[in-house]
């Protein structure tokens, strides 16, 4: 039994030969010959459907070249597909699209050749004008990605075009490797220079017999430090910490030494000023002005003395100066407020001075009491509290000085009785 596309022989089903394919056994009779032929005839629809689906996919695809292998596999699939039907139109359709795809591939490979030649020119320009290796590396990586995304070229150009690109990349990577190797050597040399400066700085701290000379050496090392090249941040910070510590050690010691020296000189000046102040007091018994006092106070201001340095000496000096100022003020007050003051006896003049002093003392004592009462209402900290304390100390000194002058005048009056 047979039909247009096949036949049955000895219980076997055969597909008649077509195109270059000979007759081929595709199955065997299961129930009866008619139903068997119908089964294999209906099965041909599956082959037709698969071909239709592949062609539809090719037509809708942007990159049709990617379907070439699928199309060739479909031909192989049809050549061994067990069905009865007209396979020739299916093979013809596939061959038509195979030719179309091959034509597209030829066009694409020609286009790919143009693109890759352009990429080669771009790459050669990049490699010839390297200014920043990191930036150039990023450009080369971008170029590689575009190269890989670009499809194949015709086989006759493949070796030449790929060889040129590989040479370009190898040339770049070799140059970059050489650059970073040289940079590594320079960095190592720079680190060595930093380490040498640190060692010299640390050696300078051992020369304690001449700190001034060590400080000069360190200043020269600091200037050299600023001229050294760049090294890794972590390494530089570690070396800088050692370098800074060595510098701080010497300069802090030198500062302390100079402060001690200045302190000794200040002490000499203070004692000298105290002597001048003490010798000045007897000269102001009847004076109303004193250039010597102004000069003395001006000389004191020129001294650089810390807040807590020579506290007793400072208090003594201010006390003497306050006494001198109070003497001058009381003398002016007595002369301006008392008629014919200069014609009165020494005892009378002292009594007049005493009366004014007592009035001033009472006024200052009252002001001090009020200030203390008000300041106790505030419990502050920091600079404001220090300001209040200084002001109270000044008021207390004014009261104390007036009390001392009052007692001194009382004793002088007694001696004149």
Helix axes 87-128, 33-60, angle to 10 degrees: 30
pLDDT tens across 350-374, in order? 899 889 889 999 998 998 888 888 8
Tell me whether residue 180 is in a domain.
Answer: no
User: Which of 257, 286, 308 is the last residue before a domain boundary?
Assistant: 257
Does one domain contain both 199 and 342? no
Cα atoms in the 13 Å half-sphere on the side-chain side of 133: 11
**pTM score, whole prediction:** 0.48
Does one domain contain both 35 and 146? yes
Q: Counting Cβ atoms within 10 Å, is residue 291 exposed (0-12), middle (13-18) or buried (19+)?
A: exposed
Q: Is 7 helix (H, G, I), strand (E, B) or coil?
A: strand
Main-chain dihedrals φ then ψ at residue 327, nearest 5 degrees: -60, -50
Domain that includes residue 227, residue range: 186-257
Tell me how far apart the alpha carbons of residues 372 and 388 are, in angstroms, rounded to a whole number. Answer: 10
Tell me how far apart the alpha carbons of residues 415 and 412 are, in angstroms, rounded to a whole number. Answer: 5
Tell me whether residue 174 is in a domain.
Answer: no
Number of domains in the chain: 3
pLDDT of residue 308: 64
Does one domain contain both 148 and 3? yes
User: Which of 234, 257, 280 is the last residue before a domain boundary?
Assistant: 257
Does one domain contain both 240 and 291? no
Does one domain contain both 82 and 202? no
Main-chain dihedrals φ then ψ at residue 109, nearest 5 degrees: -70, -30
Does one domain contain both 268 and 239? no
Tell me whether residue 162 is in a domain.
Answer: no
pLDDT in tens, the chain (417 residues): 788 999 999 999 999 999 999 999 999 998 899 999 999 999 999 999 999 999 999 999 988 888 999 999 999 999 999 999 999 999 999 999 999 999 998 998 999 999 999 999 999 898 888 888 888 899 999 999 999 998 888 889 999 999 999 999 999 999 899 988 888 888 888 889 989 988 988 888 877 677 888 888 888 889 988 988 888 889 889 989 998 998 888 888 878 877 777 777 778 888 888 888 888 888 877 787 888 888 888 888 887 776 667 788 888 888 888 888 888 888 898 889 898 888 888 888 889 988 988 999 999 899 888 888 887 776 555 556 667 777 888 888 888 988 988 998 898 888 886
| Segment holding 24, helix H or strand E | strand 24-28
Tell me whether residue 175 is in a domain.
Answer: no
Tell me whether residue 303 is in a domain.
Answer: yes
Q: How many CB atoms lie within 10 A of CB 75?
A: 14
Query: Which two three-digit tokens encode residue 295?
Result: 């000069």
Tell me whether residue 141 is in a domain.
Answer: yes
pLDDT tens across 46-102, in order? 999 999 999 999 999 988 888 999 999 999 999 999 999 999 999 999 999 999 999
Does one domain contain both 357 and 225? no
User: Which of 257, 275, 304 is the last residue before a domain boundary?
Assistant: 257
Tell me how far apart the alpha carbons of residues 93 and 88 are, in angstroms, rounded to a whole number. Answer: 9
Does one domain contain both 129 and 1? yes
Does one domain contain both 273 and 397? yes
Does one domain contain both 130 and 149? yes
Tell me how far apart the alpha carbons of residues 47 and 74 are, in angstroms, rounded to a whole number. Answer: 9
pLDDT of residue 99: 95
Tokens 């596939």 correspond to: 94
Strand partners, 18: 21
Does one domain contain both 85 and 139? yes
Tell me whether residue 181 is in a domain.
Answer: no
Does one domain contain both 297 and 407? yes
Query: Which two three-digit tokens encode residue 151?
Result: 């499809």
Tell me how far apart the alpha carbons of residues 26 and 173 are, in angstroms, rounded to a whole number. Answer: 60
Tell me how far apart the alpha carbons of residues 229 and 186 are, in angstroms, rounded to a whole number. Answer: 9
Tell me whether residue 136 is in a domain.
Answer: yes
């Amino acid at each position: 039994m047979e039909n247009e596309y096949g036949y049955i022989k000895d219980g076997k089903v055969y597909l008649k030969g077509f195109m270059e394919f000979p007759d081929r056994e595709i199955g065997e009779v299961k129930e009866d010959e008619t139903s068997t032929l119908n089964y294999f005839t209906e099965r041909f629809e599956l082959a037709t459907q698969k071909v239709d689906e592949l062609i539809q996919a090719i037509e809708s695809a942007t990159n049709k070249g990617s379907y070439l292998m699928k199309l060739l596999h479909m031909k192989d699939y049809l050549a061994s597909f067990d069905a009865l039907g007209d396979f020739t139109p299916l093979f013809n359709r596939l061959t038509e699209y195979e030719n179309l795809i091959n034509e597209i591939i030829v066009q694409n490979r020609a286009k790919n050749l143009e693109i890759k030649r352009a990429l080669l020119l771009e790459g050669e320009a990049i490699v010839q004008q390297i200014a920043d290796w990191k930036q150039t590396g990023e450009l080369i990586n971008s170029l590689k990605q575009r190269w890989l995304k670009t499809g194949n070229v015709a086989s006759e150009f493949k070796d030449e075009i790929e060889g040129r690109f590989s040479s370009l990349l190898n040339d770049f990577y070799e140059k970059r490797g050489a650059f970073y190797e040289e940079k590594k050597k320079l960095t190592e040399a720079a680190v060595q220079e930093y380490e040498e400066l640190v060692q010299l700085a640390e050696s300078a701290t051992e020369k304690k017999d001449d700190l001034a000379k060590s400080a000069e050496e360190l200043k020269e090392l600091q200037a050299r430090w600023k001229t050294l090249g760049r090294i890794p941040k972590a390494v530089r910070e570690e070396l800088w910490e050692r370098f800074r510590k060595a510098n701080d050690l010497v300069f802090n010691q030198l500062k302390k030494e100079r402060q001690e020296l200045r302190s000794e000189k200040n002490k000499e000046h203070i004692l000298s000023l105290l002597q001048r102040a003490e010798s000045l007091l007897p000269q102001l018994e009847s004076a109303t002005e004193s250039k010597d006092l102004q000069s003395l106070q001006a000389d004191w201001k020129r001294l650089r003395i810390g807040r807590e340095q020579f506290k007793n000496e400072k208090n003594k000096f201010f006390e003497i100066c306050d006494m001198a100022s109070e003497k001058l003020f009381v003398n002016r007050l007595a002369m301006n407020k008392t008629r014919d003051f200069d014609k009165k006896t020494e005892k009378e003049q002292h009594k007049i001075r005493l009366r004014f002093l007592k009035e001033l003392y009472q006024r200052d004592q009252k002001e001090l009491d009020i200030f203390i009462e008000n300041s106790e209402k505030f419990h502050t900290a920091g600079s404001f509290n220090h300001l209040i304390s200084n002001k109270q100390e000044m008021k207390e000194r004014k009261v104390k000085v007036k009390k001392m002058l009052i007692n001194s005048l009382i004793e002088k009056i007694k001696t004149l009785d």
